[in-house]
Structure 1
Amino acid sequence: MTQSVVVQVGQCGNQVGCRFWDLALREHAHVNKVGLYDEALSSFFRNKGGDAIAAVLIDMEEGVVHRILQGPLREVFDSAQLLTDVSGSGNNWAVGNLTYGSAYMDSIVNKLRKAAEHCDCLQCFFLIHSMGGGTGSGLGTRVLSLLEEEFPDVCRIVTAMYPSAEDDVITSPYNSVLAMKELTEHADCVLPVENQSLVDIVNKISLMSHDAKPGCVLKKESTVTSGQGGVSPTERPFDAMNNIVANLLLNITSEIISLWN
């Protein structure tokens, strides 16, 4: 019954995607005690052949994907839909787009086709990637062009993570400009997210979480605060930032799903 496929590319794309799936499962668990992915989640999940997430995970460094497979979400990802390398793209758009894009093109297309085959009526691809890194910007936009070639009639919605003005990666402006050109040509809809704005939002959430004024306190179990249900000192800063984007995607997809159903 799956109607949508999420494609996660690069370190940032897979971290945000992991947060998205975690929030979707936790939200659904509040109303579904049986444990099966019913019609409420049928746009992203399938029960056939075992419960699995409709996603393709791609990264030219295996660290993030490996951690996902070692974590609590390991059972819901189809290992055949994962693609990793070990060397990375060196924060270079051309390496991700041209070198890895050419080397792994057939493999990526096969995984996209396999994911689409599980859909009764494929409605949309959600691509999550960063604009500043080599794999996210370069290979991410190469995947986007492949989606247009293979599925020209299927909507392509992109969540693009833009670097802040003070990004410590010297090539991030170069990567972002080249990636932006590809987005304008191949994406149907782009949801831009800027890192500095995420930092500002996380700081505000942290203040609200500790504010003693009535009506201003943010509940610790709120999914807005973190993937674990609250801002914790043990969490890395980008965990909370990624969680904001995951909440954005969760709210957007719930509206789209309701329209489709």
Structure 2
Amino acid sequence: MTQSVVVQVGQCGNQIGCCFWDLALREHAAVNQKGIYDEAISSFFRNVDTRVVGDGGSISKGKICSLKARAVLIDMEEGVVNEILQGPLRDVFDTKQLITDISGSGNNWAVGHRVFGSLYQDQILEKLRKSAEHCDCLQCFFIIHSMGGGTGSGLGTFLLKMLEDEFPEVYRFVTSIYPSVEYHLYPLSLIASLLMFFPRKSLFDIISKIDLMVNSGKLGTTVKPKSLVTSSSGALKTRHKKPFDAMNNIVANLLLNLTSSARFEGSLNMDLNEISMNLVPFPQLHYLVSSLTPLYTLTDVNIPPRRLDQMFSDAFSKDHQLLRADPKHSLYLACALMVRGNVQISDVRRNIERLKPSLQFVSWNQEGWKTSLCSIPPVGHSHSLLALANNTCVKPTFMELKERFMRLYKKKAHLHHYLQVEGMEESCFTEAVSSLSALIQEYNQLDATKNMPVQDLPRLSIAM
């Protein structure tokens, strides 16, 4: 049985991670009601013997074992981690696998990357190695962070480079939340195996639509009293107190579906590494567009379940994308469908054949579909679908990111905050812009091949 390690970096990374662990525990509790430590639980949790051995060799009585998350929590401002350690999940995390500071990174990428990266490099490496030693077969690292602020972005990218150097054979699945205005254009394409990114604006739009539908009565008005779909720190209960909880809950639910094949049995389970191998034909182009259905029921409102065929249609609709994009009007390099619940492979194939005419795939990968069937549905639903697509529709997001960056950079706005950090030079910004420009050009090159006969296709110059 393979295992994975989750690394939570910064405030956003730790909040999303906490939501994921809460949902995962609730899901396992619903399936494994006897509380037996089995292979499903061992994929993301380990069993720790908590008995104390006395001086005379005697072993204390009482609680024998404790379930611990395979996680490393890192934040240079200790508030969020302390909140987690005082909350209902405090016993789930190994306190030896936490790294915190007091001062914080001051919302400065350079401080997180240059200062705290060097200062905590040895400690972080020790925690990562310890986590790897606890795995019988380490499959991948899940890194959850934000590209805003200082710790999540700066120390997060430092951590990714460290993982690439120390564990080159282990896949790195990156979940990044992108802010609306950003100076941090570190070339993640160089240090991640696969990256799912979620602009905060896109997540906010989804939450606004949910609020609008709930308030209009379209989704009904009755909230399930004991639902397990929403985390205890999730969307509906604390939305007005913590506006980002609802957004975090969406990302956590996506991760829950992404890891379902690694945690539960299924007739056609997909190895996590297969996602990267099948969806990333070029190492540079590893940015995935994700869609989740049911999506607008994550607030746990009682509504009739979606029909199966409608679920597949939703997954390719613009409204269900977790990115402001419409993949139907762009070019697919590959697509993975991760289905949960009592769904037959014939249902999946039928829907693929039904949807194929409306989707445009690159000429050299017309059958670029990867499917997964996990028999255990999310709690509260009969079935669900996570669609991951490598699609050129991500290009406008990168173009917008570059445009916003250049507006700041031309004015030298806030630049001195970064350059005053030792080791930080202005060339870091120009190199990042150059890397992003090259990435946009590679997507342009692929888009130019749409509707082009195979014999006329140019030779791709995408970096390998």
Please classify the TM superposition score into its range, dividing by the shorter chain length. Answer: 0.7 to 0.9
**Range that drifts further, 132-141 or 246-255:** 246-255
Shift, 1:212, TM fit: 3.3
**Is 1:239 paired with 2:250?**
no
**Range that drifts further, 37-46 or 101-110:** 37-46
Shift, 1:30, TM fit: 1.4
Cα distance change of structure 1 residues 83 and 218 upon mapping to structure 2, 3 Å threshold: farther
Residue type at the aligned position of 2:18: C
Shift, 1:127, TM fit: 0.2
Residue type at the aligned position of 2:253: N
Query: Distance between the aligned counterparts of 1:86 and 1:204, measured in 2?
Result: 38
Query: Distance between the aligned counterparts of 1:63 and 1:3, measured in 2?
Result: 29
Query: Distance between the aligned counterparts of 2:71 and 2:143, measured in 1?
Result: 10
Query: Distance between the aligned counterparts of 1:76 and 1:13, measured in 2?
Result: 17
Q: Aligned residue pairs: how many?
A: 249
Query: Distance between the aligned counterparts of 2:116 and 2:234, measured in 1?
Result: 37
Query: Distance between the aligned counterparts of 1:152 and 1:186, measured in 2?
Result: 10
Residues 19-62 of structure 1: CA deviation (Å, up to 9, x unaligned): 00011111121122223442222210111433110000000000
110, 114, 123: which one aligns with 2:126: 110
* Aligned counterpart, 1:27: 27
**Is 1:201 paired with 2:206?**
yes
SS in 1 for 2:176: strand
* Aligned counterpart, 1:170: none
The answer for unaligned runs of 5 or more in structure 1 is 166-172
* Aligned counterpart, 1:8: 8
SS in 2 for 1:128: strand
Structure 1 length as normaliser, TM-score? 0.88
The answer for unaligned runs of 5 or more in structure 2 is 50-65, 264-268, 273-464
**Range that drifts further, 220-229 or 34-43:** 220-229
| Greater helix proportion | 1
**Range that drifts further, 248-257 or 156-165:** 248-257
Shift, 1:218, TM fit: 7.8
Query: Distance between the aligned counterparts of 1:218 and 1:37, measured in 2?
Result: 36
Q: Contact 2:22–2:232 at 8 Å: present in 1 too?
A: yes
* Aligned counterpart, 2:257: 251
SS in 1 for 2:103: coil
Q: Contact 2:113–2:157 at 8 Å: present in 1 too?
A: yes
* Aligned counterpart, 2:139: 123
Shift, 1:142, TM fit: 0.6
Query: Distance between the aligned counterparts of 1:260 and 1:150, measured in 2?
Result: 23
* Aligned counterpart, 2:400: none
* Aligned counterpart, 2:151: 135
Structure 2 length as normaliser, TM-score? 0.51
**Range that drifts further, 71-80 or 194-203:** 194-203
Q: Contact 2:109–2:150 at 8 Å: present in 1 too?
A: yes
* Aligned counterpart, 1:148: 164
Q: Whose relative contact order is higher, 1 or 2, with alpha carbons under 8 Å and at least 6 apart? A: 1
87, 106, 130: which one aligns with 1:71: 87
SS in 1 for 2:125: helix
Query: Distance between the aligned counterparts of 2:13 and 2:235, measured in 1?
Result: 22
179, 194, 200: which one aligns with 1:189: 194
Q: Contact 2:10–2:146 at 8 Å: present in 1 too?
A: yes
Q: Contact 1:7–1:55 at 8 Å: present in 2 too?
A: yes
Q: Contact 2:15–2:80 at 8 Å: present in 1 too?
A: yes
Query: Distance between the aligned counterparts of 2:199 and 2:5, measured in 1?
Result: 24
Q: Contact 2:233–2:245 at 8 Å: present in 1 too?
A: no
Q: Contact 1:14–1:57 at 8 Å: present in 2 too?
A: yes
Residues 161-220 of structure 1: CA deviation (Å, up to 9, x unaligned): 10025xxxxxxx112x12xx1x1111000000111111111122223444534x666854
* Aligned counterpart, 2:76: 60
Q: Contact 2:234–2:245 at 8 Å: present in 1 too?
A: no
**Is 1:99 paired with 2:104?**
no
Query: Distance between the aligned counterparts of 1:77 and 1:244, measured in 2?
Result: 22
Query: Distance between the aligned counterparts of 1:30 and 1:184, measured in 2?
Result: 38
Q: Contact 1:2–1:121 at 8 Å: present in 2 too?
A: yes
* Aligned counterpart, 1:38: 38
Shift, 1:256, TM fit: 4.7
* Aligned counterpart, 2:217: 212
Query: Distance between the aligned counterparts of 2:6 and 2:93, measured in 1?
Result: 12
* Aligned counterpart, 1:168: none
Superposed CA RMSD in Å reads: 2.1
Q: Contact 1:156–1:187 at 8 Å: present in 2 too?
A: yes
Q: Contact 2:76–2:105 at 8 Å: present in 1 too?
A: yes
Q: Contact 1:16–1:243 at 8 Å: present in 2 too?
A: yes
Residue type at the aligned position of 2:76: M
SS in 1 for 2:83: helix
Cα distance change of structure 1 residues 100 and 260 upon mapping to structure 2, 3 Å threshold: same
Residue type at the aligned position of 1:237: P
SS in 2 for 1:205: helix
**Range that drifts further, 62-71 or 250-259:** 250-259
